[in-house]
Every structure is written in C-alpha cells, then in structure tokens.
Amino acid sequence: MDENGKKMDVMSLLPSELEELCREMGQPSYRAKQIFTFLSRGVPIEEMTTLPKDFRRSLANVCEDRLPRVEEKQVSALDGTVKYLFRLFDGEYIESVFMRYEHGNTLCISSEVGCPMGCAFCASTLGGKVRPLLPSEMLGQIIATERDIGERVSGVVMMGIGEPLDNYDNVIRFLKLVNHKDGLGIGYRHISLSTCGVVPGIKRLAEEELPITLSISLHAVTDEKRSALMPVNRKWNIDTLLTACADYYRKTSRRISFEYTLLAGENDGEDEARALASLLKRYMRGMPIHVNLIRVNEVKERAFVRGDAESVRRFAEVLSSHGVNATVRRRLGSDIDGACGQLRRRAKGGER
Ligand code: SAH
C-alpha cells in the first residue's frame, strides 16, 4: 500500500522489486520468483498455493493483481485470428489481436487508451488519448489471452491502439517484464515495436540494448504529404526521422522495418514507390531495409479508400526492382477485420 492508501500494482513489479517487497514483509526473497511466475500465469494471489496462507492474505491486502477482462471476442472462421475487446479496471477499453503463424502465436497489443498522434487514416486516434497503459496492463493483455485461448503466445507486436514511444517508461518496463525468464520469457527478437516517428523515443530506445525489432510507420515520401497524413511529421520531419533510423541501426545492428499503408490515389503510385526506394537507400545506405506494405483498412469516419490487390503488387514490384525488400502483409482475419480501434469506439458509444 502506498502513502495514499492505494494498493500496489504488483504485476508491474520486476523480480528484484518483488524481492524487496518480500523482505519488507518478512518473507525470504525466493518468494519473489514464485510470485512473479504465478502472476505471469494469471494466478490470483489467493490461489498461490506454495505461499503461506497468512502471507497470501497480507499480500492481497496491499497488492492489486487484476487482469483485463474479455468484454467481446471475434473469432475468424478463416484462420483462427481472434480479436479481443478488453475492459480495464476503470471501465476503459482496449483491443488486442491474436494471430496464428507457422512460427508461433503472435499477439498485437495496445500501449495506450486512445492515441494522441492524430494520424488521418487511423481509428484509434479519433477520440484522442485517454491515458497511458500501465506495464501490468500491457502484460495483462498477453496473460488474459493465453488463459482464454489455452495456448502460448510466443511473439508480441506493439501495433495496437496507442503510440508506444508516447508511453516510454511503461513500455520499457513492460518489455523487461515480458522477457524475464521467470515470467512469460518472450525473446526480445520476437517483439516488435511500431512508432509513427517519435524521434526522441527512437534515440532513447537505441541506448536500451533491447534487441527488439523497430518498425517505423512512414506512409509518405514527402514532408508535405506526410505532414498532412501524420501530424507528428510537423515536429520531426522525414529527414530527422530517417537520420535517427540510420543512427539506430548503427548503434543496435537491428534491421528496421518500414510500414507503408497504401491509400488509393494518395500515396500508392509507381512514382511514389520509386521515390520511397531512393529515399530509403539514401538514408540507410548499406544497411538492410525492409518495407511492409498494407492496403488501408477503411474507417467509416475517414475518406481513404482501399486499392485493389494489383495496386499493392505493382508497388511491391517497383520497390524490389530498385533493390528494396518488400512484403505485402498477409491479411489475417479478413472476415472479422475492421481497422484497429473500431471495437473500442463502438464500446465507448463513439460510433453510431
Ligand atoms: N502508433 C504506432 C503503432 C500503432 S498503429 C504507429 O503509428 O506505428 C500500427 C500500424 O497501423 C501503423 O503503421 C499505422 O500507421 C497503421 N494503421 C493505422 N490505421 C490504419 C488503417 N486504417 N489501415 C491500415 N493501417 C493503419
């Protein structure tokens, strides 16, 4: 319990911090590992049977160990993709998407309730940012999903609602929690973090020595167009962003992925593909580059149109003919699709 009488967010604590808590409560420090492992499996404190009963009771009195609650769930009949709407302790909603790949199960998680970044094509940002997610709430999306589905999640992508680098400290703590061997033990190499281009965050991340994959949402090749689509570009323009990306690679030797959402008639022409290839080759000279192409998911409140399959195939071809690796993102769960953020909007009554 803290000085305000509020319970501690125990699932946001690292094992070393749990050790300290155990010591303060007169328990041996090896209890910390037991607690941490139980928490990562979603076991409530009262049911941590290897702990003495009295200790469980006093721990439950000072600690909060809640998980996000499954409010709604859509299961794809095509490929088993599952989209979750989770309800948090304060009545807010977030979304996560469970995807099955040959190399394992991946969960796409949210990092904030809403988003402050204002991208013109995105549903998650329509009502602005409500609050950051706690480390325990990012972790909780994975634990609640594993419990619900009964399968292990082996990879995480931070591409749900929110801008991870706008919630920097909580995200870094989450990454350490999710990677810890006594907990979920998800390897950093199986974790991707996507940003719209918060440059100071990219610079800090480069110093953390976490070998995760960084994805950059680029979506346009000129500042004029990118600023119109992504207000963040007015603060950190393409030159600043790509310079930071090159520095990130020099520091970490981790290949960066560039996300490019195709908006029909806006940014999906062959000229743009050529300009994208030369822009990336110029800034990332001699470095491995990868581009992920995705056709926009149409959002009711937004005017952008999804092009046909041919348009994305052509775009990819131009990139590869200029020596830039591109993957057209496979569309999982197309029968339950709806752009990210739409379930939450409906639940909040924002969509009518
Ligand atoms: N804030 C982070 C992560 C969340 S968005 C970021 O911007 O990277 C995850 C990805 O989905 C981003 O590349 C984002 O630009 C893209 N995206 C958002 N709305 C979309 C839509 N309607 N259709 C296709 N992609 C979209």
Confidence (pLDDT) at 330: 73
| Residues 337, 95 contacting (CB under 8 angstroms) | no
Confidence (pLDDT) at 229: 98
Average pLDDT value for residue range 261-285: 97
Average pLDDT value for residue range 206-225: 97
332, pLDDT greater than 80: no
| Calpha distance 161→298 (Å, rounded) | 16
Ligand 1 pocket test, candidate residues 97, 192, 217, most atoms within 8 A of CB: 217
Amino acid at 21: L
Tens digits of residue pLDDT in 317-330? 999 999 999 999 87
Write b or e for each residue in 285-300: b if 16 or more Cβ atoms lie within 10 A of its Cβ, otherwise e. Answer: eebebbbbbbbbbbbe
Q: Where are the alpha helices (DSSP H) in 134-267?
A: 135-149, 168-179, 199-206, 223-229, 232-235, 238-252
Q: What are the backbone angles phi and psi of residue 321, rounded to the nearest 5°?
A: -70, -20
Confidence (pLDDT) at 288: 94
Instruction: State pTM to two decimals.
Output: 0.96
**What are the structure tokens assigned to 344, written together?**
């939450």
Confidence of residue 79 (pLDDT cuts 50, 70, 90): confident
47/332: higher pLDDT: 47
Confidence of residue 352 (pLDDT cuts 50, 70, 90): very low
Residue minimizing CA distance to atom 4 of ligand 1: 159
User: How high does pLDDT run on average in the chain?
Assistant: 94
* Position in ligand 1 atom list of the atom nearest CA 215: 8
DSSP H or E stretch at residue 98: strand 93-101
Tens digits of residue pLDDT in 90-103? 999 999 999 999 88
First to last CA, the chain: 42
Helix (H, G, I), strand (E, B) or coil at 243: helix
Helix (H, G, I), strand (E, B) or coil at 134: coil
CB-count exposure of residue 7 (10 Å: 0-12, 13-18, 19+) = middle
Average pLDDT value for residue range 158-187: 98
Q: What is the DSSP letter of 65?
A: -
| Calpha distance 108→86 (Å, rounded) | 13
Answer yes or no: is the C-beta of 267 below 6 A from any ligand 1 atom. no
